[in-house]
Amino acid sequence: MQTVVDPKTLLLKRIEDKTAVVGVVGMGYVGLPFAVEKAKVGYRVVGIDRSAKRVEMINQGHNYIGDVKDEDLRELVAQGLIRATTGFEVVPELDVVVIAVPTPLTKNLVPDLQYVEGVTREIARYLRPGQLVSLESTTYPGTTEEVMLPILEQSGLKLNQDFFLAHSPERVDPGNARYTTKNTNKVVGGVGPESLEVAVAFYSKTIDHVVPVSSAKAAEMVKVFENTFRAVNIALVNELTLLCDRMDLNVWEVLDAAFTKPFGIMPFYPGPGVGGHCIPLDPHYLEWKAKEYNFNTHFINLAGEINRKMPEFTVDKAARVLSQHGKPLQGAKVVLLGMAYKANLDDYRESPAIEVFKLLQKRGAEVVFHDSWTPHVEEHGLVADSVELTDELLQNADLVIITTNHKNVDYARVVALSKVVLDTRYATRGLKADNVVLL
Ligand code: SAJ
């Protein structure tokens, strides 16, 4: 007599013996590294991405994410362990579906779950018994259970009997060579104990340390707290910068000295603003949800306000520096060094340098940028190409603003050839020069 194996037992077995087929929806800076880690230990992985270009690049073994080794992707695709598609028809073949799609904000800082909801609806169309769905996108506490579960249950399947649902927030620090998908502790929360059991079993197969928590909601809160922690502490040093500017104190000297304290402090540094697809956005997911509980998250609101003020402060300081050299901002030749949102990577999403560029233009300056990491920028209404960093460019500029402290720039040369440099990242640390003004 054929014994009927319940969906959870079968799924756990497939996870254990690596016959489980893993789907990854959203093959970006989270999804692709995750797919590679899963395939490396022998799982067959199918990437689902709405970009036909990305799908084609993956199927040809061409890598496009800095944190992934080109040869790893090439070999895993050649071995048939990774492939990609734009459609969801493949979902019935999958045993696990990991979702790593963007969770942006609208212009009014309201969560925009269109991608999470759209993907969940597609998965629900093809959902079958024995599948685990895990959301990795950063979102407000409650999304997995309150938004995704009802959509998935429209399939008629029952949670924790037929399918399993979890939240395991991505913890990727783009460009961080030390902490990778494999060795970064991973928080996992299930919608119910069975979902937690299955999700822990799944993540434990490729991640060194899995941290189970009591619910998907708790896991969601963990991640928004992590990003809020960073946003608030960055805002703290940015606020200190605004005050030190008024008090004629060098905030970088103050912070360097403060961070010599061997305990109870953690280095954060000011900048021209806060970019990327996480820190400027994710905390506002919590701020929005908290209102449902008649609760104002003052720190999140204030941090966002201060961080969003920094591009304008940077341009005001640039105007002051120019006027001290007898030049109005109107008509001044300004060169921005760096458009990426942070050093040594090619991502310029929400980059503060874009805001600085546009504000300078608005006030009549002639602005160009140099950034070999981002040869072409097209975001928030700015379309511009990086110019070559020639001696003439530096010598003819009325002001050079260092907006991103990439390692691949010779700052001694920049300082030597420029009339005056406004350094918003302390990239000129250690250079003795009287033509450098720090933010
Ligand atoms: N920034 C400062 N001062 C600082 C640190 C950062 O101005 O002291 C700026 C950066 O220049 C950048 C922005 O803040 O424009 C965000 O930088 P970030 O490194 O804090 O954030 P991401 O988006 O590159 O990566 C972060 C992860 N980074 C770290 O933990 C170091 C982490 O917060 C999340 O795991 C990840 O986003 C995510 O995906 O949420």
Same structural domain for residues 311 and 420? yes
Same structural domain for residues 429 and 379? yes
Query: Does 221 map to a domain?
Result: no
Handedness of CA 324, 328, 334, 338 (dihedral sign): positive
Distance (Å, rounded) from C-alpha 236 to C-alpha 255?
11
Q: Whose CA is closest to 21, among 100, 93, 89, 78?
A: 93
Q: Measuring from atom 9 of ligand 1, which residue has the nearest CA?
A: 274
Q: Which residues, 6 or more positions from 42, have their beta carbon under 8 angstroms from its beta carbon?
A: 18, 81
pLDDT in tens, 90-103: 999 999 999 999 99
Query: Does 57 map to a domain?
Result: yes
pLDDT in tens, 309-360: 999 999 999 999 999 999 999 999 999 999 999 999 999 999 999 999 999 9
- DSSP state at residue 325: T
Compute the mean pLDDT over every residue in the chain, rounded to the nearest whole number.
96
Same structural domain for residues 280 and 429? yes
Output the six-digit token pair for 347.
């991502």
pLDDT in tens, 252-271: 999 999 999 999 999 999 99
Q: Which domain holds residue 164?
A: 7-214
Query: Does 224 map to a domain?
Result: no
Atom of ligand 1 nearest to the CA of 176: 31
Taking the CA atoms of the chain, what radius of gyration do you get in angstroms?
24
Grade residue 2 by pLDDT with cuts at 50, 70 and 90. low
Count how many Cα atoms sit within 13 Å of the Cα of residue 48 in the half-sphere of its side chain: 24
CB of 172 closer than 6 A to ligand 1? yes
Last-in-domain residue among 214, 244, 268: 214
Query: Does 219 map to a domain?
Result: no
Helix (H, G, I), strand (E, B) or coil at 208: coil
Same structural domain for residues 316 and 205? no
Atom of ligand 1 nearest to the CA of 223: 40
Residue 129 is predicted with a pLDDT of 96
Query: Does 325 map to a domain?
Result: yes
Query: Does 374 map to a domain?
Result: yes
Question: Is residue 291 scored above 70 in pLDDT?
Answer: yes
Last-in-domain residue among 214, 238, 254: 214
Same structural domain for residues 50 and 178? yes
Query: Does 223 map to a domain?
Result: no
Distance (Å, rounded) from C-alpha 261 to C-alpha 254?
12
278 is catalytic: yes
Beta bridge partners of 47: 24, 84
Distance (Å, rounded) from C-alpha 127 to C-alpha 210?
26
Q: Looking at residue 71, which CATH number applies to its domain? A: 3.40.50.720
Distance (Å, rounded) from C-alpha 189 to C-alpha 195?
8
CB of 170 closer than 6 A to ligand 1? yes
Helix (H, G, I), strand (E, B) or coil at 299: helix
Query: Does 1 map to a domain?
Result: no
